[in-house]
Each structure stands twice: as C-alpha cells, then as structure tokens.
A and B are shown apart, each in its own frame.
Chain A
Amino acid sequence: MHAVLAGDQDSYAVLVRRHKDSLYRYAERMTGRTDEAADIVQQAFINGFRNLDRCRNPEKIGGWLFRIAVNLCKDQLKGRARREVSLEVAGPLQASGGLPEDGAERAEIREKIYRALQSLSSEHREAFLLKHVEGWSYEEMAEKLEISVSALKMRVHRARDQLQGMLEIYR
C-alpha cells in the first residue's frame, strides 16, 4: 500500500484491477449510460492517482476511490440536468452483461428496471444501488459516503417504497 501511495504504477494497477468492475457497475447504473460510466471510472482512477497524498487512510484506499467515483457520478448527473438532456433522450443503458436466458421478455424487464431506477432521485438511487447491488452494509455506506446510518436507511427504504410497483411483474 505504501508503494501505491508513493505512486508506484504496478501497485496502482493492482488497485485498478481490483476496483474497476465495482466502480463501473455502480457508475453505469447511476448514470444509465455506458459511455459516461467508462469516463467516470477512468477519471476516478486518474483523480485518485493525482491525489494519493490526500488519502488519509491508506488501508481503506478502495473506499476512498469509490467515494471519488460517487462524487463524479453526482457531478455528471448535475451537469446533465443543467444541460437539460432528459433521460428519455439519453436512452436506456446497453447492458453488456445482460440477464440470463435473454429474450424479448427479459429485455422488457431490463428496460423496466432501467426506467424504475432512473425514476429515483440520485440520492435514493445511490443508496439503493450500494445496498442492493454492491452489497454494502449500512455501516460501510455511512463510512464511505460520510452520511449517518439512519439517513441512509431512510433513503434505501424510500427507494424500495418507490420501486414497489415493479414487483407486480414478479407475482
């Protein structure tokens, strides 16, 4: 870890390898766009590398990088709102993973999930994705986002309340 902080590229490459997937997964679902997600992840690692000396807790550098990506996602969404580009125009994400047994029906479900996630506020979406896609505990979320556990729980609960309508297709 000290090698990473000293700017050793090979050590930083391990860090990139370990965290690129989770950062990308999160950024893609937050922004709903694969191109923006790739840019965000790339920028997060570059910003992280430039600011290694500001990483206060080297043992948790992964969480620190994730927080950089979280903030870049927020900036991206704010910028998008300013440019008044609606999500309807931006279009649904192009899933590079895809649901198993992909077919027309699954594609429709994926489309509905995309719409439902994008209908959440960015704060609610952020909390929901970290909890239910990344599988973080509330304590991990609180530490990395610097938000209280109770506030995060409220966001996740409200997100779930809003997503209740999606469940009809599973009954």
Chain B
Amino acid sequence: MNKELDQYLDGELDGADLQPDVKQEAEVWNAFLRDVRESGAQGAPVGLESLVLNSIQTEKRSQWPRIIDWWIAPHAIRIRPLIGLAAAAVLAVIFLLPKDAVVPVEPSGAATTVVDNEVVYVQFKLEAPEAKSVAVAGDFNEWVPGVMLADPDGDGVWAGRLKLSPGVHRYMYVIDGSHWVTDPYAERYTEDGFGRQNAVIAITGGAGARSLAP
C-alpha cells in the first residue's frame, strides 16, 4: 500500500496534504471503514447491563469479608513529594481564596448557563455533523445518556437545554447512543477514571447565577 495512504489512515497525515490520486484512494478507504463501523452492532443489547449487575450483586455479598479486612488492616500511603506539595497548594487555594476573588466570566465553551429568575438552565451544544443522535450524560442523571440534543436545521450542531441544580457537574456527550466524547469546549476537565476526561461545569444558584470559570 502507498506509504502516504498508510500515514493518512494511521492518522499521521492530514487529508488536505494528500496527492490527488492518493486522496481518491483515501476516500474509497473512508467509505469502506465507515461501513465496517456501521455494520454489526453499535452497542450492547438491551438487558445486558441488568444481567451484569445481577451477577455482580451475588459477587458483592462474598466481597464483604474482604472489604472489612481492608478497613481494619493498616495501610502504608505512598505519595511523591512533588504531588503532595501540589495537592496541598490546590487545597490551600480552594479553602483560603476569598469568594470575591472568583470572578464570574461569560462562558465561551459549549455548555453555557442561562438564568431565568431562580431557575438555572444549561445549554449544551456539540458540533457533530456525522452523528445520528447526540445525548448528554452526567452525574446529574446517573450517567444515563437520556437527555437528547436536537439538530432541527440539520447543520450538524446539536443543542439542548437542561435544568440543573447549582453545584459542580461532570458530563460527557454520547454520540449515536454509544460513543462517549468529551466536550471540546468545556470550561474545565477532570479525569473520568476510565482513561478519558469528563467535562466540568460549575453553576452558582439563584438570580444572577453564571457558569464559573476555574
């Protein structure tokens, strides 16, 4: 196979940099790969999650002795000095910084806060031209991708408003029911513990509430 084409398919070369004949071949490959992705199931069948959770419920009961042992037994905590200092600095900033020092700014990210008297709405927006559906999942809905965004004009920009309580919320977008993606324009991010990043939005309550930048 053409080396340039291999580099493109490996994600090491931009499509705009390809020679015309290679670009044509790349388009053929893209069509094929799209069909590979769309053939077969896009996600787990309904009921699989329940089956798994029922199974581990049985497992959980046998875990108790081990959990109790873990809490009773002494543990040595190892921490790198630099990380310890950094954590202490972060805590100091959180607890010592006066509230006035947190300056509300207009959010420029995809999730922006809309205030209507006492109600706080968050506008979620994601550009996903090839998506067939886009949902929002976060700690506010138990990470169930049930809040669907809409793209009424078909321009590939999906949007929707959601009423949220004041506080810090983590969320992700779910494309086509199964592809979890991080909001590229979030105000800030946090590790999701699964190797990716959750987007984070912080909302203050009451009139005049605004999304706060970190």
Contacts and interface: CB of A to CB of B under 8 A. Distances in A.
Interface of A: 1, 4, 6-7, 9, 12-25, 28-29, 34, 37-38, 41-42, 45-46, 49-50, 53, 58-63, 93, 95-100, 109-110, 113-114, 117, 131-133, 137-138, 140, 153, 156-157, 160-161, 163-164, 166-167, 170-171
B70 A153 contact: no
B155 interface: no
B53 to A, nearest CB: 6
Contacts of B36: 113, 117, 132-133
Contacts of B143: 14, 17-18
Interface in B1-59: 1, 6, 9-11, 28-29, 31-33, 35-45, 48-49, 51-53, 55-57, 59
B43 A171 contact: no
Contact of A1 (B6, B51, B70, B193): B193
B163 interface: no
Nearest to A97: B42
A12 B56 contact: yes
State the main secondary structure of chain A at its contact with B. Answer: helix
Given A21-B44, A99-B38, A160-B9, 20 more contacts: A7-B60, A9-B53, A14-B142, A21-B178, A24-B41, A24-B44, A25-B40, A25-B43, A38-B44, A42-B48, A93-B41, A95-B41, A100-B38, A110-B40, A117-B36, A160-B6, A163-B32, A164-B1, A167-B28, A167-B29
B52 A99 contact: no
B144 interface: yes
Given A20-B44, A132-B36, A171 B195 contact: no
Interface range, B side:
35 or more
A45 to B, nearest CB: 5
A93 B43 contact: no
Contacts of B43: 20-21, 24-25, 97
A16 B47 CA distance: 12
A97 B46 CA distance: 12
B56 A9 contact: yes
Contacts of A25: 40-43, 178
B102 to A, nearest CB: 27
Contact of B10 (A7, A50, A156): A156
Contacts of B118: none
Nearest to A169: B32
A41 B43 CA distance: 11
10 contacts: A7-B63, A23-B44, A25-B178, A29-B40, A46-B52, A95-B41, A113-B39, A117-B36, A132-B36, A137-B11
Q: A4, A20, A21, A164: which has the most chain B beta carbons within 10 Å?
A: A21
Nearest to B60: A9
A96 B35 contact: no
B39 A110 contact: yes
